[in-house]
Amino acid sequence: MSTAHAAEPEAGADIVQRSINTIRTLSIDAVEQAKSGHPGTPMALAPLVYTLWNRVMQFDPQDPIWPNRDRFVLSNGHASMLLWSLLHLTRTRAVNSEYERLGRPAVTLDDIRHFRQLDSRAPGHPEYGWVSGVETTTGPLGQGVATSVGMAMAEKWLAQRYNQNGFEIFGYNIYAVCGDGCLMEGLSSEAASLAAHLGLDNLCWIFDNNHITIEGDTNITFTEDVAARFLAYGWNVLRVGDANDIDRIEHALQIFHRTRDRPTFIVLDSHIGYGSPHKQGTAAAHGEPLGEEEVRLVKRYYGWPEDAKFLIPEGVYEHFAEGVGSRGAKARAEWTELFAGYRAKYPKLAAEIDQIERRELPAEWERNLPVFPADPQGMAGREASGKVLNVLAQNIPWLLGGSADLGPSNKTILAGAGDFQAHTPGGKNVHFGIREHAMAAVVNGLCLSKLRAYGASFFVFSDYARPAMRLSALMEVPAIYIFTHDAMGDGEDGPTHQPVEHLASLRAIPGLVTLRPGDANEVVEAYRYIMRLRREPAVLALTRQALPTIDRTKYAPASGLAHGAYVLADAPGGNPELILIASGSELILAVNAHEQLMAEGIRSRVVSMPSWDIFENQTRRYRNSVLPPDVTARIAIEQASTFGWERYIGAAGRVIGMETFGASAPLKELQRKFGFEPDRVVLVAKELVGR
């Protein structure tokens, strides 16, 4: 027994109900002690998660990263106490960032006592990487269910590639719990539509149909027929009319297991804050602590000692050990034995699975990466990217991805790699449709399943994907985002399609590596850098238009990109009086201006700066060697917002950038209008050096 109180629930309460009420009361006590959080949903959904975990899921608490485990996603992450209670009661063990089993509990009772407090392994919302047993970070509503689609796709892909006759190495299910808020967010609609199209019969969403959000009853905003909506998508829709009926819940989950060629959506009718009758169904039970008096009333309703706090009655730990613990251990042991036989018969495939699980790359993953010859006509960034992607996809079997309906334009189609569709889930070309937000969330789900995945669109539409991209960085998963049409290269389309503030906004996301390469060989080096990342997502901003391929026999090698910024061209003796800093399509502009300045006797240096993020992680000595502090005459050149460049140009420097939105016109006219021409750079340079 783990409590400061010796009291037990009333005699006669069976172990099942006692276990369910333990989940409820732990949640109530944690929220009350924190004076913060959401007790209502954990109270209502305790029977569901008990049934799912202790009767249905294949999950071994002793090894929460066992590859063939079922995945549980709490999309309505404000109910995180459900998960902390489960991870504690099942005695799930912790794993570190190197995938080593630590032996200590993932969530202790002390963590629960310190719910929502600094350093507790029971934070306010589920956080992947911080707490073992959390499959994805949730909280922003809709993200969890959308990410679960990527997880389901990953299982289908893994099973198609690696399962062999007599060896079902991958065959797990994904369960996602969601609420009204998740289903109001447009993201869930995008993801649900894609999941049905792909026939993901390994995916089950369970909808907590409680009719309550923060502002009150959902009838003030949300009166659609949700079940009909999911039927229209093509899901198998089931209904359980009482969230406390664990037998009916289990029966619905058994139907999910038997359903083929479509995902399952279970409508679970519940009353949020189920407990004290006068509190039942109120928004207060959803979004704030109950208060001491209400806590006593609720516990009395449950037949629980009213003064007990964080009580775990006799037999509850053992009950979970006999349920999910025993079932999960048996399933993992059988799988481990199966995989040993698989390794003996299919050693190459087994070695690939090992590498996937450790986020490693094949030994020769860089083989045949292109080197582009100097060419004044050059190549678009997107073209170079497509060539590199196709080589990488041949070298790395588990690299897959696609575009939000722009594959031919983004150049992300992998030749001969097949399409990921309902009946061909082994294809590596994923067609996300015009669903940028869901695309980014799905990429997260694929990456959380240890595949290397990318999603692509026009750079301006990164706005639609940004919330899920932020979660990529927060979770530290190596998602790859490929964005083309990175500036004004699609001129005639006008300002709606010309990204201005996007580089600055993505550079502002902690842990997201943003790269804007300046020619085809910098694109190669960008991929070389990105593919080595294990815990950082990356953005590639690429041009639509051709850029000259810089002569690397005359200028510095593109491998300097690995430092974020490097000296591309310099004054004789390396003693510049002026520094030109540029990224992307403006790099050749800086080079041309440099040549003109040098001809006029002005000693200039060109610094290619494709990535602020990488550069900031270099030593101070290196950064000072590229941008000597005593050279204060500096010009930054970038077809984007000037915001942030002051950190590199200082008070004396200038930025040639965008202070407004763009315009609809051919590219050359836009370059002239906004000052992206060598003569403008030279003029500003002369002003700075007083010539």
Nearest to 565 by CA among 509, 490, 479, 627: 627
Alpha helix (H) ranges present in 495-586? 502-507, 520-531
Rounded to the nearest 10°, the torsion over CA 75, 474, 609, 378 is: -30
- β-strand pairing of 578-582 with 604-608: parallel
The active-site residue out of 155, 190, 383, 436 is 436
Nearest to 346 by CA among 167, 171, 172, 170: 167
Identify residue 403 by its one-letter amino acid code.
S
CA–CA dist 41, 213 (Å, integer): 11
Q: What single DSSP character describes residue 399?
A: E
CA–CA dist 370, 373 (Å, integer): 10
Nearest to 431 by CA among 410, 409, 402: 402
Output the CA torsion sign for 346, 352, 358, 364. Answer: positive
Render the burial of 318-344: b for 16+ CB within 10 Å, e for the rest: ebbbebbbebbbebbeebeeebeebbe
Which pair of structure tokens corresponds to residue 366? Answer: 């860089």
Identify residue 489 by its one-letter amino acid code.
G
Specify which residues 608 forms β-bridges with.
566, 582
Nearest to 48 by CA among 278, 216, 179, 244: 244
CA–CA dist 55, 251 (Å, integer): 11
CA–CA dist 449, 172 (Å, integer): 12
CA–CA dist 299, 46 (Å, integer): 14
H/E stretch holding 515: strand 513-515
Which pair of structure tokens corresponds to residue 71? Answer: 């995945």
CA–CA dist 444, 143 (Å, integer): 10
Please indicate whether residue 436 is annotated as part of the active site. Answer: yes
Angular region, 288: left φ>0, alpha ψ -120 to 50, beta rest: beta
Specify which residues 634 forms β-bridges with.
579
Write out the E strands in 66-173.
Answer: 71-74, 93-95, 101-105
Render the burial of 345-375: b for 16+ CB within 10 Å, e for the rest: ebeebbebbebbeebebeeebbeebeebeee
| Exposed / middle / buried, residue 684 (Cβ in 10 Å: 0-12, 13-18, 19+) | buried
Q: Does residue 675 contact residue 586 with C-beta atoms inside 8 Å?
A: no
Catalytic residues: 436
